[in-house]
Amino acid sequence: MINKYDAPCQIFFDRQIHIPKVEDGMAFKVSLAAHRAAASLCLILRDPVSLQEERHFLPFDTTFPGGPKREGYAQIVQPLPAHFQSCDISIEIEYRNHLPDDKGIEPFLFMADIHVADADAGGDHPLILQPEWIYGADDVTDGQWISAPLPNVLAPGQGLSVQVGRDVLPILPMPAPEFEVSENYGHSLVCKSAKDLELVLSIDGQHVEALSITAGDNVVRLPSKYLNGHVRHLSLKDRSGSVVLFEHHQLMPYIVTPEDVMRRESSAPFPNALLPQTPHRYSALKAVIAGAGAELDLSQLTHALNTLEGGPGNVVRLPLQFPKIDAPEVSVIIPAHNNIDLTYLALCSLLLGYNKATFEVIVVDDASTDETATLETLVSGITVVRHPVAQRFIRACNAGADRARGKYIALLNNDVEVTAGWLDELIAGTERFENVGLVGSKLLYPNGDLQDAGGIIWGSGNPWNYGSGQNPNDPRYCYARQADYLSGAALMVPTKIWQEVGGLSSYLEPMYFEDTDLSFKVRDAGYQTWFIPSSVVYHFEGMTSGTDTSTGFKKYQEVNRPKFKRQWARAYAAHGVEGETPDLEKDRGIIGRVLFIDYAPPRADKDAGSYAALQEMKLVQSLGYKVTFISTNMAHLGRYTEDLQKSGVEVVHAPFFMNPSEYLDRHAGDFDAFYITRYYVAQNVLEQIRRQAPNAKILFNNADLHFLRELRAAKSEADADMLDRARKTRSEEIDVIRIVDVVLSYNEVEHSVIQAYTDGECTVVRCPWVVDVPDAVPAAGARHGLSFLGSFHHHPNAEGVRWFVRNVMPLLAGQNASHHLTIYGSGMSDEIRAMRSAYVTAHGFVQDVTEAYNSHRVFVAPLLSGAGIKGKVISALAHGIPCVVSPIAAEGIGLRSGHDCFVAEKPADWAEAIARLNTDDDLWEKISQNARTYMHRSFSFEQGRHLMREAFEAAELYGAHA
């Protein structure tokens, strides 16, 4: 729509279309339509090689009104110049004048289906998506198209509606049909439907094909152009594109030869897309390269990779050499009885699977009769313990442990393939959590399916391999948690604790239930046992002892079952009924469950709010609760999400659930409490939570009072529209506050405002803020200049920096050339970057925030608006850099100007305070030390834990860990 239509104007588009190579017959194509406007589309074609340029003016024709159908648009085709080698295509709109009619006022211009294709490819193609008409006629000759944001994706059974006057019209009248994809071969889908359906196949968000599904079984062949070995997002939707009946991220194969056939009939290296271990092996190679020293043997590395790809049936045994380690951190114990090729494959994986931790390898040869008996002549740098008479698994492991020199003992089966960092992650697990005595890896089958994600022992005493056969990437199996037992195929114990509990128990000799028993012994000694899913190991289960429990050594699994039960009956007596709710039973050592809900996963290096969210989850965990996190954008954000999972937080994300509503439909009743951050997040879930979990408590963290921040910004900017929006926000925010059980707010000013607007009827408590205070900080003499740190996605930060640069920096620059300001922060706009000068550096995002503190002499926080507590100020104070702050920046922290900071309002006050701190080392040291002392006393983890306990008790949630 052209708002100011009385005068000509131009509309520019930033994005270009780049054609790397112009071929015969290529043309630019676009569909144009218009209402009440005389205008042209200016098409600019430029060859970046020859620098030649052509311009073409393509008129908008008002006889084409637009709408949902192809015939409503003029089909424009402009051939690309045949003499161009490549082509960059830019477009502009030149609006000339208004063409009044009796159907409306404002002029509209429409462009659709912009693309480059063969000039003769075209014709009238039916639309893949068809509008579903729910009100009025199915043909529109005039009117205005209106759009509104929808949830990310609608799950089957969910719906939307539009209110027209008093009529409420369902947008999705189609009920969820009885439809399923029963088999997925990657290149074809087998679908079962209870009735005939008209569907649309979408790949990577593009609607590529209309499908007619008949009742019964259907085979859908996926288009061959997409079968290229890449992972793609596949979905089947109804013809309106509104209801998703099936979706999946999957590898689209370009080879369908089965893995076993390829290994039998060909030789390594194999096509990368064939093997599920390829991503882990690629990660291992990256880790090896990143940590490589001059001693890296590339030929050995290549051989190890080829051996792993070839699998146990194609092993070519060449000499291997492990580095000699004088003081290893870990002793890896591998018991082996025959099966030399399996052991060799495991050793190759140890060479490829890079770890920062140093380790020794101890292979216990348990009376092998094959080449295992001469293993040390093939593999150097390892220790081999010989048993002339077979002692079997328990005695073999204990014998290997007796030779261990490491701080940790890791038991590893010989029928495994470890992945990069498997030891590092296990060690990190022992350091991340308190009082850890045993950790275990996530085990995968060779086909990539989950084998074990930390075992359950039921009240019957029987074990359960949790998650066996499931998707290992499902959020349920991806977060660290306490488990009843960890598989002996890949576990690790601190050597002191191994010795304290006496290793594996002799009463279970020769084998089976020894790993379960070890977990119970470790807990009985007062330690915790943790499943660490970031440590991944492939396990060829059954290749050493078979799978038949009635024959061979596997029979000891049943022989030892009653022995184990007798030994530990009291320990598992209170566990759940066998087979019932394993997804809840698996979580040990908790007093309840809390679901955190926010707009996005926290990214602590991007903004202070994310840092606060992480700390609040840690505080709730410290009270004894299992924490689950879900965001309204349902995103998995790589290492940010993985770091949360490593800390013991279950992170629910797409595609396992497509929106919070879908997750709450199934799991709201699992939770004792909900911790919701931001009012607009709460608006979307409160009603559903109250309906589906009526007994659960809702704690609401407003992050800051949004309406107070908006009111202050409106006052600062003297903007009446902003003031109106702030009033609307106030109404919505207070409505949320009235519904929840407890409100957590960071400062007393906001407490008073909330109580005033709710007539004192809501429960408001102080929200904790936690900061780590470094033991030592650089002295004043090693620092220079000023710094600011903050996310520029947050309006008050940009507003404050602009004010400071314009009003304070000129005063400082006139005093001293060393008064240089460095601006740090994510989301920096071009406007902020344009402030660069001899006295201002716009640095942007900084990975390590200590750079913004430790290099500089004074930290400034010149905020003119905002609300809540200012994490950047607390962090700066904790790092010992004296701060000059505005009254709003100081709000809620409890600072005393002249004692632990300087609070300034007028530019001259700012300049004076900064000058004093820049020139007086004694004053600098005094302010720095006072600030660090105050931060340590008031914002420690223990103080935060005390405040979080008070918040939960205010919601009638007692019983937290002491």
Q: Domain ranges for the chain, please list them.
A: 1-122, 179-252, 317-585, 590-770, 780-939
Position 877 confidence tier, pLDDT thresholds 50, 70, 90? very high
User: Alpha-carbon distance 853 to 212, whole Å?
Assistant: 63
Considering the four listed CATH numbers 3.30.160, 1.20.120, 2.60.120, 3.30.300, the one that applies to the domain covering 1-122 is: 2.60.120
- Tell me the C-alpha distance between 944 and 942, whole Å: 5
pLDDT score, position 123: 47
pLDDT of residue 127: 58
How far apart, in whole angstroms, are the C-alpha atoms of residue 565 and residue 609? 49
Return the higher-pLDDT residue of 231 and 818. Answer: 231
Band of residue 561 on the pLDDT scale cut at 50, 70, 90: very high
**Side chain identity at 781, as an amino acid letter?**
G
Share of the chain above pLDDT 70, in %: 91
Q: Does position 547 have pLDDT exceeding 60, yes or no?
A: no
Q: What confidence tens digit (pLDDT) does each residue in 725-742 have?
A: 889 989 999 999 999 999
Q: Is the domain 780-939 a CATH 3.40.50.2000 member?
A: yes
CA atoms within 13 A on the CB side of 958: 1
pLDDT of 124 above 50: no
Which residues are CB-neighbours of 483 under 8 A, at least 6 positions away? 440, 454, 455, 456, 466, 519, 529, 530, 531, 586, 588
Residue 498 is encoded by which pair of tokens?
């191994």
- At the topology level, CATH places domain 590-770 in Rossmann fold (3.40.50)
Q: Using the predicted structure, report yes or no on whether residue 327 has a pLDDT greater than 60.
A: yes
Model confidence, pTM: 0.74
CA 640 to chain centre: 5
Residue 379 has pLDDT above 50, yes or no: yes
pLDDT of 637: 87
709: left (phi over 0), alpha (psi -120 to 50) or beta: alpha
Give the whole-angstrom CA distance, residue 338 versus residue 825.
59
Domains 590-770 and 780-939 share a fold: yes
Residue 550 has pLDDT above 70, yes or no: no
Answer with the residue of higher pLDDT: 698 or 831. Answer: 698
3-state secondary structure (DSSP) of residue 740: coil
How far apart (Å, rounded) are the C-alpha atoms in residues 558 and 565?
11
pLDDT class for 23, splitting at 50, 70, 90?
confident
Q: What is the mean pLDDT of residues 278-295?
A: 83
Its CATH architecture, for the domain 179-252, is Sandwich (2.60)
Average pLDDT over residues 479-498: 97
Q: What mean pLDDT comes out for the span 690-709?
A: 91
What's the topology of domain 317-585?
Spore Coat Polysaccharide Biosynthesis Protein SpsA; Chain A (3.90.550)
Average pLDDT over every residue of 923-927 = 95
List, in order, residues 6 or more apart from 416 with CB less than 8 Å away. 346, 349, 489, 490, 537, 538, 539, 540
Count of residues making up the chain: 962
Q: How far apart are CA 70 and CA 198, in angstroms?
A: 20
pLDDT digits (tens, 9 = 90+) for 835-872: 998 889 999 988 888 899 999 999 999 999 877 788 88
- The label of the residue with tokens 């890296």 reads 296
Burial class (CB in 10 A: 0-12, 13-18, 19+), 296: exposed
Lowest mean pLDDT among 185-194, 371-380, 552-561, 642-651: 552-561
Helix (H), strand (E), coil (C) string for 494-520:
EHHHHHHHCCCCHHHCCCCCHHHHHHH
Lowest mean pLDDT among 148-162, 304-318, 548-562, 893-907: 148-162
CA distances to 339, 375, 624 from 371, in Å: 8, 6, 51
**Is pLDDT of 662 > 50?**
yes
Rounded CA separation 411/407 (Å): 13
Predicted pLDDT at 708: 85
pLDDT at residue number 466: 95
| Whether pLDDT at 616 is above 50 | yes
pLDDT at 53 over 80: yes
For 508-512, what is the mean pLDDT?
A: 87
Phi, psi of 801 (to 5 degrees): -65, -40
What is residue 159's predicted lDDT score, i.e. its pLDDT? 66
> Cα–Cα distance between 334 and 332 in angstroms, integer?
6
Percent of the chain with pLDDT over 90: 56
475 has a pLDDT exceeding 60: yes
Burial of 59-73, coded b for 16+ CB within 10 Å and e otherwise, reads ebebebbbbeeeebb
Residue 580 confidence (pLDDT):
93
Q: How many CB atoms lie within 10 A of CB 384?
A: 20
**pLDDT digit string, tens, across residues 241-257:** 777 889 888 878 777 77
Q: Would you state the pLDDT for residue 7? A: 84
Q: Over the chain, what is the mean pLDDT?
A: 88
Is 448 or 456 the better-scoring residue by pLDDT?
A: 456
pLDDT tier at 802 (50, 70, 90 boundaries)?
Answer: very high
Better-scored residue on pLDDT, 728 or 438: 438
Q: Which tokens hold the place of 814?
A: 């006139």
pLDDT given at position 100 = 87
Q: Kind of pairing, strands 37-46 and 53-59?
A: antiparallel
